[in-house]
Amino acid sequence: MAALLAAAAALPALRLPFLADDWINLSTVARHQFFRTPFGYFRPLYLATYWLDWTIWGLTPFFFHVTSVILSALAAGLVVTAIRKYSEDDRLAILSGVLFALQPYHFHNVAWIAARGDTLCAVLILGSAISYHSWRGRPRGGAPWLWLAVAFFEASLLAKEAGAAFPVVLTMICLASRKQGERLRGLLPFYAVALMHFLVLRPWALQELGLSRLGGANLAWVWKLFGFTASALFPVPIDLLEARPLFWGGVAAVGGGSLLLLSRDALSKSGALLLLAATCFVLFLAPSLISFQERYFFLPSLPAAVALGALLTPLRPRFRAGALAVLLLVWLPCLAWQWLAWMQAGSASQALVDGLVVASHRPGVEEIALTNLPYRVGGPPVVGAFEEAIPLMGGRRVRVCAATSIDYPRAASEALDGPPGTAVRVTEASATVRLRIPTGVFSRLDDPHFAPGTVSASSLCGTVTLLQPGVFSAEVPRAADGTRAALYWNRGKFVSLF
């Protein structure tokens, strides 16, 4: 049931095209580079799934998304199995699996193929946890299960580094259990494999430790942890949460406090489980606190679902049904919003790449200059390595640059400051476009960044001038040899300037 619910929640992703970082990952696989991702991470198993999809189905987004949907459904099913084995509580296992399956943030991991690493890592971690439990139940002759658990763990690290938290999580689970003798004997192989992976295998493959992108712990991490914790109960779009963090944090605190109040009679039984789930939540989330993105919530949402399940399970049937109904009344609209937002981003991405491919075939064009490139649409990312996307989609390889990068609330948002006749001016030397940033949570100028006290910024593409708050002009000069084409984005499509 949990697997089917997860698949149903993910099905709209099958209609989406490639977006954003998908392109650079695909071009990396096309060059048969599997050890290092384009962003400097060691994730060969993650990249191998791209290669496998491409080899079997060709460059068709539908089948890439099918793989992601299958992984998401498999993770939800394994959650039920793992929780049932460790807790021996069928109701808790089923409720945790259902909550995990319907977590709205998970749609990022199926809608965006580049986010598949989190899903794959979670599946392998769950496989390791289930195998480890099988070893615990076999005092003699269970060694193959332990080595299978260790193999799954290493595979999770080859999918994404976030799996590194698993040995510590497993230690917490063992400390909470009565089988004291298993700690050292069963946990040492996991820590040994983690050390070998990060101190030997990873440096050998990357020719460096490759951990610089993790950054240092700082107060911003605490703020992101606060946001993710609020999202465990009220998974509103992150743009909304960042705009009013105290409001949504307060709403989550009231909701969580209400659940605790309803479950107060059962806290003596579930208190230890809640503490364990909270600890595991922080441990799984810690490697991802470098950024606040929905896709990082996939693995931490497992202990979050267990905590919610532990609060709901002891309630009387009618109270449990009521609390679950209230929770779903919040979650299902958030899930629907994710669907609609990604559809907007997918529409923009498809039109954007199609427009670039057409422009690349113009005779003599070697560079395409964009006055206003959609960076995000409705929240999800759109911008990507378009110089790689164009040849993959049948165009000529050309340079692509942007004078500005802008977040739009919808694919068809109005970008010009007035009608084209007054907002667009084309001369023999250049083209100038007046742009207005739509007012809203999902709208902003991402690039360029104006230095303090300045109203003008230059890029390889041209010059951007701040005319008044929210209104800019982007000027793109012509190339002397005529090799530059210029386009502007408006109402969901590119329009040629020259």
The tokens describing 166, both together, are 């698993």
**Matching residue, tokens 């690349």:** 360
Residue 435's alpha-carbon distances to 355, 381, 468, 496, in angstroms, are 20, 20, 11, 15
**Matching residue, tokens 């009387």:** 316
pLDDT score of 97: 95
The tokens describing 342, both together, are 């990604």
pLDDT score of 182: 56
What is the DSSP track for 373-404?
EEEEESSSB----HHHHHHHTT----EEEEEE
Query: Mean pLDDT, 10 residues at a time, over the chain (498 residues)?
Result: 95 94 92 87 93 93 96 96 92 94 95 94 96 80 85 95 91 75 75 92 80 56 81 88 83 82 71 86 85 89 92 84 89 94 94 94 92 92 92 93 92 90 91 88 87 83 88 91 91 91
Rounded CA gap, 331 and 342, in Å?
17
Residue 468's alpha-carbon distances to 167, 333, 371, 435, in angstroms, are 54, 37, 18, 11
Helix (H) or strand (E) segment spanning residue 261:
helix 245-262
Mean pLDDT computed over every residue of the chain: 88
pLDDT score of 218: 59
pLDDT score of 360: 93
Structural domain boundaries in the chain: 2-315, 342-496
Tell me: the pLDDT tens digits for 407-417?
A: 999 999 888 99
Tell me: the pLDDT tens digits for 473-496?
A: 999 999 888 899 999 999 999 999
**Matching residue, tokens 């100028």:** 445
What is the DSSP track for 358-378?
HHHTSTT--EEEEEEEEEEES
The tokens describing 298, both together, are 């996939």
Under 8 Å between Cβ of 120 and 110: no
Does this model's pTM top 0.75? My answer is yes
pLDDT score of 93: 94
Rounded CA gap, 327 and 319, in Å?
12
Residue 236 — φ and ψ, nearest 5°?
-75, 160
Closest of 59, 52, 68 to residue 115, by C-alpha: 68
